[in-house]
Amino acid sequence: MCYFYTSPESVRKVSLANIFNLKSVRAVNAFCRQPIYEDLPCAYDKKMESLPVSNITIHGYLQSWKYFKHVEKQVREEFTFQKSIMSNAEQIFRQNVQNNISFQTTCIHVRRTDMMIASSLKIGFKSAPLEYLHNAVNHMQQKFNNKVKFLVISDDYKWCFKNLKFPNSIIIPRNTPGIDLALLSLCNSSIITTGTFGWWGAWLADGYTVYYKNYPEPGSRLDRETVKEDFYPPYWVPINSAHNQSTSSFYIIVILICSFCIQ
């Protein structure tokens, strides 16, 4: 068994301890003299592969699937939800999908509130546009032969209720972060927008996942600090916010044929 040691104060501050049954986290009163800083927040840093054998403090976000791909099974076991949280999530899930057992249940996570403030936009954060969500939903419907039930989970219920009128979709009222994350983990497939909350929900669900290709904002500081091959698992599918690509290709072919006929 390998343990992750942290300070008692960190354990109290980290809400994960209130959501998951963390078994490998140990709180110790230790002073670590040597700080290690990651190079980029949304990329894999190879120097983390050869850390010194001493007391160190790692500073950063470590937002890459590559850091734990070799211990994925253990991480999934560690991220087992508290019984009360999962019980509430399962009850909500059953209430909304019980009559659609034969359908593919797809969770759509829409993050908007903190992504839309000026300071976030300046860095390169953004909310996924409605066009992307339409493309992602169409993609799922085509992939699963229109037998899809969509559960929309968001921090902006009013916006979703007004704008997301997809067939076989339900907008779930906002719950606690723990219940929302547990709900995301129960779905067969996932559509995620921006940020890491939806990312972890999709990873825990471990199903077919599509993500917003145009995040972060191209050319922004956050974009320069993100290596997408490190941030998104290679088996997740990128989708952009342009018009349906297959439809666009069809029109291009028609135009070329007509041009040939005229000549």
Asked whether residue 104 is domain-assigned, the answer is yes
| Boundary (domain end) residue, out of 45, 77, 109 | 77
- Work out how many domains the chain is built from and give that number: 2
Contacts of residue 27, Cβ cutoff 8 Å, sequence gap at least 6: 5, 6, 7, 8, 10, 11
Does 198 lie in the same domain as 172? yes
| Boundary (domain end) residue, out of 47, 77, 107 | 77
Q: 0.85 exceeded by the pTM? A: yes
Q: Are 123 and 225 in contact (CB under 8 A)?
A: no
Does 40 lie in the same domain as 89? no
Range of the domain at 26: 4-77
- Regarding predicted confidence, which is higher, 189 or 244? 189
Does 211 lie in the same domain as 149? yes
How does pLDDT run across 136-157, given as a tens digit for each residue?
999 999 999 999 999 999 999 9
- Regarding predicted confidence, which is higher, 243 or 78? 78
The upper half-sphere exposure of residue 123, i.e. CA atoms within 13 Å in the direction of its Cβ, equals 13
Does 131 lie in the same domain as 34? no
pLDDT band (50, 70, 90) for residue 249:
very low
Residue 120 predicted with pLDDT over 60: yes
How does pLDDT run across 37-65, given as a tens digit for each residue?
999 999 999 999 999 988 888 899 999 99
Residue 9: the pLDDT is 62
Does 224 lie in the same domain as 209? yes
Does 234 lie in the same domain as 127? yes
| Boundary (domain end) residue, out of 57, 77, 97 | 77
Does 193 lie in the same domain as 91? yes
What DSSP designation does 192 have? E
Asked whether residue 252 is domain-assigned, the answer is no
Neighbours of 138 (CB within 10 A): 15
Instruction: Return the bridge partners of 237, or none.
Output: 210
The upper half-sphere exposure of residue 220, i.e. CA atoms within 13 Å in the direction of its Cβ, equals 16
How does pLDDT run across 207-230, given as a tens digit for each residue?
999 999 999 999 999 999 999 999
Asked whether residue 256 is domain-assigned, the answer is no
